[in-house]
Amino acid sequence: MNSKLTYLKKLELFNELDNFKDGQFFAVADSKIKNHLPQWIQFSPHVFWLKNPEEEKNLTVYSQAVEFFLKSGIGRNSKIYAFGGGATTDLAGYIAATILRGVGWSAVPTTLLGMVDASIGGKTGLNMPQGKNLIGAFHAPENVYICGDFLTTLSEREWLSGKGEVLKYGFLSPDIHQLIVKKAPIEQIAHACAKFKNELVEKDFREEGERIHLNLGHTLGHAFESTLKISHGQAVTMGLKYLFKIMNLNDSVASWDQMVRALSLPAEKYDISHFPNFDIKTFMGYLEFDKKKIDTHIRLVLVKAIGSCYVEEVLMKDFKKKIQTYDEFKN
């Protein structure tokens, strides 16, 4: 199960969307990007608008959206379009996975993180008060339209977040690593990342094998994200750095430095010392919620060389000890 990726300019996207102008058109869209969309979509009665997608990626809004689409006359053969970042595509995809036992959907990611990661691979989901993405389904979008023109209005925070995931791909693929260090245009790098993920997911849709490599840096990353309330990508960038340091992967630490510079990322923002309120106890608590924890062990993705990753099962208590005894974590 994978999706058809199409790279296009905004005008080409508008032409593609115009094919649905006179039929029933159902969409979930982030209101922040309303002005990016064709006028007929802006005024379409069957678009469910989100004001603050991450806060609305929950059961309450899910149920409101399902009711909205049922009242709008959605049918088994209808399609749902998603316009927005990862929170919007996660929610829209989950609605598509479940409404009427599943309808088709297409994603138009509008953040860099959405383009390289969240809109691809069919993981859809909702947050619960107990944690992020605790409800979900695998339901791949039929199409993912990648249009770099949306990125012109992205905030600094969202650029950093998206580039954090790009950095991760630099460890998974030698080609992407090359593009990054040669400072290729970000759109070109984003296309390569999207293609890489789509191909990996095609081989292992349900994450029973190699797809787990995409979680590189995410064990510590998720704990940083929850403890420090920073963006996903900034947290992944920190997660990568401290994973390499704790596990003594010195070549990877050097590659991290090289790619951080090439992507013009602010290296100082990934130091624990940048966050005076960092609380090690809270951080360790979040580690326990990692989905890759199996009983007493944690499955860590590690790097042998650029493009060559492997999974190691480590005793959770040993991993925690490595963290607690690492100088930068002591506070």
Ligand X SMILES: NC(=O)c1ccc[n+]([C@@H]2O[C@H](COP(=O)([O-])OP(=O)(O)OC[C@H]3O[C@@H](n4cnc5c(N)ncnc54)[C@H](O)[C@@H]3O)[C@@H](O)[C@H]2O)c1
Active-site positions?
Answer: 101, 123, 165, 197, 207, 211, 215, 218, 222, 232
Shortest Å distance, C-beta 147 to ligand X: 10
Site string for ligand X, 246-285 (x = CB under 6 A): ----------------------------------------
Burial of residue 152, with CB atoms counted within 10 A of its CB: 0-12 exposed, 13-18 middle, 19 or more buried:
exposed
Compare residues 105 and 150 and give the one whose CB is closer to ligand X: 150
Compare residues 12 and 328 and give the one whose CB is closer to ligand X: 12
Shortest Å distance, C-beta 251 to ligand X: 26
Pairwise CA distance, residues 115 & 85, whole Å: 8
Pairwise CA distance, residues 230 & 185, whole Å: 26
Site string for ligand X, 41-60 (x = CB under 6 A): ------------xx--x---
Helix axes 316-325, 280-287, angle to 10 degrees: 160
Burial of residue 295, with CB atoms counted within 10 A of its CB: 0-12 exposed, 13-18 middle, 19 or more buried:
exposed
Shortest Å distance, C-beta 42 to ligand X: 15
123-152 residues in contact with ligand X (CB under 6 A) are 123, 132-133, 150
Shortest Å distance, C-beta 321 to ligand X: 29
Compare residues 79 and 218 and give the one whose CB is closer to ligand X: 218
Of 3, 13, 32, 62, the one binding ligand X by CB under 6 A: 32
86-115 residues in contact with ligand X (CB under 6 A) are 86-88, 90, 110-111, 113-114
Is 290 a binder of ligand X (CB under 6 A)? no
**105 within 8 A of 120, measured Cβ to Cβ:** no
Pairwise CA distance, residues 265 & 157, whole Å: 11
Compare residues 32 and 163 and give the one whose CB is closer to ligand X: 32
Three-state SS for 84?
strand
164-193 residues in contact with ligand X (CB under 6 A) are none
Compare residues 42 and 133 and give the one whose CB is closer to ligand X: 133
How are beta strands 4-7 and 143-146 bridged, if at all?
parallel
Three-state SS for 36?
helix
End-to-end CA distance of the chain: 46
Give start and end residues of each alpha helix (H) in the chain: 10-18, 39-42, 53-56, 59-71, 86-98, 112-113, 156-172, 174-181, 186-203, 218-228, 232-246, 250-262, 280-287, 316-325
Shortest Å distance, C-beta 149 to ligand X: 9
Q: Dihedral sign, CA of 156, 8, 120, 74?
A: positive
Shortest Å distance, C-beta 35 to ligand X: 10
Binding interface with ligand X (CB under 6 A):
30, 32-33, 53-54, 57, 84-88, 90, 110-111, 113-114, 117-118, 121, 123, 132-133, 150, 153-154, 158, 161, 232
